Structure formats: C-alpha cells, structure tokens
Amino acid sequence: MSRRIDLHCHSTASDGTLRPAELVRAGAAAGLDVMAITDHDTTGGWAEAAAARPAELRLVRGAELSCRWHGVQPGISLHLLAYLFDPDDPALAAAMLLLRADREQRGERIVDLLRADGVPITWDEVFGYAAGGSVGRPHIAQALIRAGLVSSTDEAFASDWLGARYFVPKSDLDVFEAVAAVRAAGGVAVFAHPRATKRGRVVPDELIVELADAGLFGLEADHEDHSPAERAEIRSLGERLGLAVTGSSDFHGTHKTVRLGANRTAPEMYDKIVAAATGVPVLG
C-alpha cells in the first residue's frame, strides 16, 4: 500500500488552530503515514508534536520560512519549507528569532491602525489567540470575526481589511541566504506554492533555476492554490532541474477549508528528502 504523505501542516505554534499534539493525532486519524509540522518561522511545536506522535505516524520536523527575492523592486515575498534541519544551528535559529519578533511588531502595528479607526479589538486579545506561538495575521482575523466585522479568515484578508487597507509589510530572509542557512543546518529546502498567483506576484522561472543552482532541493506542486495547469508547469520545471516535487495540504485547521492529506507527496520524493537531510531524523 502506498504511503500517504503530507509535508506542509500548521499548528498553534504559528497560525493553525490545532495544538501540535492535536495536529499529529488528527494526521493519524486522517490516515496519514507521514506528516510534517511546518509552522511559520518557528520550531516551537516540535517537542509537543513529538511527545504526542501516534506510533503509526512518522513525523517530519520542519518550518515554513518567510523569505523575499530582491531581484525586482519591490521584492517578491515567498516561502521556503525547511525540513529536518538542526534546530540548534546558531545562524538559522537566530534568523527565525528575528522573523518572529518582526511578526509580533507587525501585528501590534496592524492592531494600532485598526483601533485608530474605531475597530473594537485589542492586542491582548490577538496575542491570546496565538496561544504562545508565532503571531500572524490569522490571529487578527480571529479578532475581526469575533467582533462581527467579517465572517471568515478569507474575508479578513481581503483588500478592505488586512489585504490592503490595514496591510503592514513584514521583514523576510533573503531567499538565497535562507537556502544556504537551511543547508548549513543539515536541512532540505523546498519552495512552497511557487505558482500561487492568487496570493500575489510570483517569481520567474529564472529565479528558480538560480535557486536550484544555489541548493534548493524541491518545489511544492500539488497545493490548493495551484490550478491543474500550474501544477503541471511546476512538475515539468522540477523534472527539468532535477528537483524533488512535493504535494501537501498546507493545513491550518479551521483557518482554511482544506483537509489533511488533500494533496500528498509521492513516496519516492519523500525518500529523496529524507536521504538528503542530516540535521535531525524523521521520528517513527
């Protein structure tokens, strides 16, 4: 029987709605054989997920790193999925700490802007929704939903709210420096949802070629924000460049409608990732 592998999942350590322990139990209940915990810019959920991991589930420890390509102005934001890296690597740990601090400052600034326009939310409320994890805009969206101003996270991210009117830019890692840092920490870097045009601007294929030369290991093709044509384009590019091609749910719990295992990674691609990583082992 083919293994069911989902390599992009979020917990309350960043902007998911399930605690790390709940996430791994949900993964097993969904029939997954392998799942990755990839919270934004943090390894804060690793220990709890590892302690609660059901025996039948293999756990890949990772993170989704906030990055930017500065080859155009303004730069283009992109995300890297970093797998199986050493969490104690000084350079990568310091970079993630800076990103989390910036997320918090950004969140406070957005709340200040909303409150200045009379929106009845508070920073204490938003910070509480993060439950000690990395603060993100979905936590502000929760406060807007509670206030009855929007009905969903998607609506909160629209232009009238967090998408434009109350948008505050955040700091990101230079994508080439991020790939190098992940590799130096013994990890493997995969470009998350590289063709997700519905999220905004996407990078040209020429950049992906350069990143592959710099050590990028793979591309996430099967993702809810990719059309069938975009998935095929990414798969073709990955094959041409000799990159691993992955698929995953990008599960966030009730913040998104997608279910665990909605998109999956082929076992042979997962095996390539595990064989290339030297930072930490898969658990299970």
Q: Is the pLDDT of residue 215 over 60?
A: yes
Predicted confidence at residue 263, as pLDDT, reads 97
Contacts of residue 102, defined as CB under 8 A and 6 or more positions apart, other chains included, come to: 170, 171
The strand ranges marked E within 205-273 are 218-222, 244-247
**Percent of the chain whose predicted confidence (pLDDT) is above 70:** 100
Structure confidence by residue, pLDDT tens digits, 37-62: 999 999 999 999 999 999 999 999 99
Average pLDDT, the chain: 95
Q: Which residue has the higher pLDDT, 170 or 33?
A: 33
pLDDT tops 70 at residue 133: yes
- pLDDT tens readout for residues 153-189: 889 988 889 988 999 988 899 999 999 999 999 999 9
What are the structural domains, with CATH classification, of the chain? Answer: 5-97+172-276 (3.20.20.140), 104-163 (1.10.150.650)
Tokens at 50, concatenated: 């590892």
CA distance 14 to 28: 21
Q: Has residue 1 got a pLDDT over 70?
A: no
- pLDDT band of residue 110 (cuts 50, 70, 90) is very high
Q: Is pLDDT at 246 greater than 70 in this prediction?
A: yes
Instruction: Give the list of residues 6+ apart from residue 255 with CB closer than 8 angstroms, or none.
Output: 15, 16, 17, 138, 141, 153
Instruction: Give the predicted TM-score (pTM) of the model.
Output: 0.92
Cis previous bond, 74, omega within 30:
yes
Q: Please state, in angstroms and as integers, the Cα–Cα distance from residue 155 to each residue in 3, 25, 115, 146, 159, following that order.
A: 36, 29, 19, 13, 9
Q: Are 181 and 95 in contact (CB under 8 A)?
A: yes
Phi, psi of 227, deg, nearest 5: -75, 165
Categorize the per-residue pLDDT at 284 as very low, low, confident or very high, splitting at 50, 70 and 90.
very high
Alpha-carbon distances of 153 from 45, 148, 261, rounded to whole Å: 22, 12, 21
Does 255 score more than 80 pLDDT? no
> Of all residues in the chain, what percent carry a pLDDT higher than 90?
86
Q: What is the mean pLDDT of residues 209-225?
A: 98
pLDDT of 124 over the 90 cut = yes
- Could you tell me which residue, 257 or 226, shows the higher pLDDT? 226
Looking from the CA of 84 toward its CB, the CA atoms found within 13 Å total 23
110-133: average pLDDT: 92
* Strand, helix or coil for residue 173: strand
